[in-house]
Amino acid sequence: MSKEKEDLFIKYSSEIGKTILEEAESEGVIRCISHLDTDGLCSAGLASMFLLENEVKFHLTIIKQLTPGALKEILREKYRALLLLDLGSGQLDLLEKKLPVDRKVFIVDHHPPEKERVNVNIHQVNPYMFGLDGSIHLSGSGTAYFTFKDQLRRGEGAEWLGIVGAIGDQQDKSEYSSLSGLNSEIVKIGIEKGIIKEEIDLNIFGRFSRPLHKALEYTFQPYIPGISGDEVGAVTLLRDIGVELKGVNGDWRKLSDLTDEEKKKLTEKIIERIMHGETFSRPSEILAMHYVNLKEELNTLRDAREFSTILNACGKLGRPDVGVLLCLGVRGEIVGEAEELLIEYRKTLADYLNKILSFPNKYLVKKEEFIVISPKAEIRDTLIGPVSSILLSQLAEKRVVIGVSRVDEGKLKISGRARGDFKGKSIDLGLALREGAKAAKGIGGGHRMAAGAEIKQNKLGEFIKALEENIKKQLAEGDNGGEP
């Protein structure tokens, strides 16, 4: 039954891709809007590839969120065709109310749709329309891949972007943190084309490209107590187990340079740290399925997990243009800019985490079923999501982390992260944040394990109260479906 649904989705998405091309060619130009995270940038890269190869003019903008204000600004422009990538499905009511009758909107998204039926000027591609789970089985970039792939003339790197986007969206929930559903179909196509290679290895950041001690320092998921974000701790660990930092030629050694015996020692030591640390990281998380781009010459961009983090750094630090160019295969100086952004990104995350964990009574508010990162922590609104994700892996006693960050115009950005299964139960965080935001007269929603909201600063108390009530209600109802 699932295969039948997948086939129907693939056929439908291809048909919409053809319609998008026809509309764009008819209008002479199309307006494209995408999200600033890894999945959004990969979606934007695929759409750009699709339009460039078909010689269609387009105007691309990367945004934080499709708010009423953002949509108002977009609709003031005179473009008659609008393409929304990795967003839009959660704003269908807003689009129907504000869309002029002479405009057409194409939505290529994987977030739960706000409603099933929309007016004739709104065309939507979404796995949920076919009973497929867009939270773990297909990302936004994966949805874009199936929408555009049949209209690509060359499509070099298309499968790669679909895979990287899914990794960035943390959809690697199968055995050894591998991809499943239609995401795995993209992997299969990439392998058959000789583009992609799968391999299980230590889940360490920068296997091919970073000095080993820096790779350990930069690894936050899984969180390794005393190592993640701590260069001295990483160096000390390696010396304690007798692993040389440099090779005989004087170059820094990388994870890929270790002997099997050295890798075994390192694995055992990391597992020991995780087991004795007060974190939720499991020893099994230290091994992961890695997806390697066999056509990529640069070591820093060959591993999907590393490339995903680099793209996230570009988007979160205000340089999504760098990320999109990387997706389109641009190299040279742009790689250096991306590397600088990555260093800043990793350092900033480590600083935020050290700040919060050094003064938990000041920056963390504990509730019965979740913990709140207070806006007093002054975390940048584009980084509250990654901080919440990393913090969740460190809190063994909580199933949900709710990050709160101040944004412009007296508003708060909410970013929530939840475990798929905790003490035998799971919750739908997207539903919980949507209900919380509704009570606070804001907007919210998302996936079961990752969701967001935006509310006014003076409504935080009402939001937290409604959120807490909804989570307790879901838990009281027992098995609410869990992860499929």
Beta strands 29-35; 57-63: pairing state: parallel
Q: Are residues 182 and 218 in the same domain?
A: no
Residues 441, 411: Cα–Cα separation, whole Å = 12
Question: Which of 363, 384, 399 lies closest to 471 in space, CA to CA?
Answer: 399
Query: Which DSSP category does 121 fall into?
Result: T
Q: Are residues 304 and 326 in the same domain?
A: yes
Q: Please report how many Cα atoms fall inside a 13 Å half-sphere around the Cα of residue 399, on the Cβ side.
A: 19
Contacts of 278 (CB under 8 A, 6+ apart): 225, 394, 396
Question: How do residues 29-68 score in pLDDT, each as one tens digit?
Answer: 999 999 999 999 999 999 999 999 999 999 999 999 888 8
**From 176-180, 198-202, 424-428, the region with the lowest mean pLDDT:** 424-428
Q: Please report how many Cα atoms fall inside a 13 Å half-sphere around the Cα of residue 21, on the Cβ side.
A: 22
Question: How do residues 231-255 score in pLDDT, each as one tens digit?
Answer: 999 999 999 999 999 988 889 999 9
Q: Are residues 132 and 184 in the same domain?
A: yes
Question: Quick one: the chain helix, strand, coil %, rounded to 5?
Answer: 50, 15, 35
| Residue 64: domain span | 2-194
- What confidence score (pLDDT) does residue 482 get? 40
- What confidence score (pLDDT) does residue 481 get? 42
447-470: average pLDDT: 92
- What confidence score (pLDDT) does residue 484 get? 33
What's the chain's average pLDDT? 90
Q: Is residue 483 part of a domain?
A: no
Q: Is residue 484 part of a domain?
A: no
215-233: average pLDDT: 86
- What confidence score (pLDDT) does residue 20 get? 97
Q: Are residues 213 and 331 in the same domain?
A: yes
Q: Are 256 and 202 in contact (CB under 8 A)?
A: no
User: Residue 263 carries which side chain, given as an amino acid letter?
Assistant: K
Q: Are 9 and 38 in contact (CB under 8 A)?
A: no
Whether the per-residue pLDDT at 124 is higher than 50: the answer is yes
- What confidence score (pLDDT) does residue 483 get? 38
Whether the per-residue pLDDT at 466 is higher than 50: the answer is yes
Q: Are residues 116 and 218 in the same domain?
A: no
Q: Are residues 216 and 351 in the same domain?
A: yes
- What confidence score (pLDDT) does residue 277 get? 59
- What confidence score (pLDDT) does residue 273 get? 83
Q: Is residue 481 part of a domain?
A: no
Residues 363, 376: Cα–Cα separation, whole Å = 6
Q: Are residues 230 and 313 in the same domain?
A: yes
8-25: average pLDDT: 97
Q: Are residues 134 and 28 in the same domain?
A: yes
Helix (H, G, I), strand (E, B) or coil at 168: helix
226-231: average pLDDT: 87
Model's pTM, two decimal places? 0.90
Give burial (CB, 10 Å; 0-12/13-18/19+) of 337: middle
Number of domains in the chain: 3
Question: How do residues 283-332 score in pLDDT, each as one tens digit?
Answer: 567 889 999 999 999 988 999 999 999 999 999 999 999 999 999 999 99
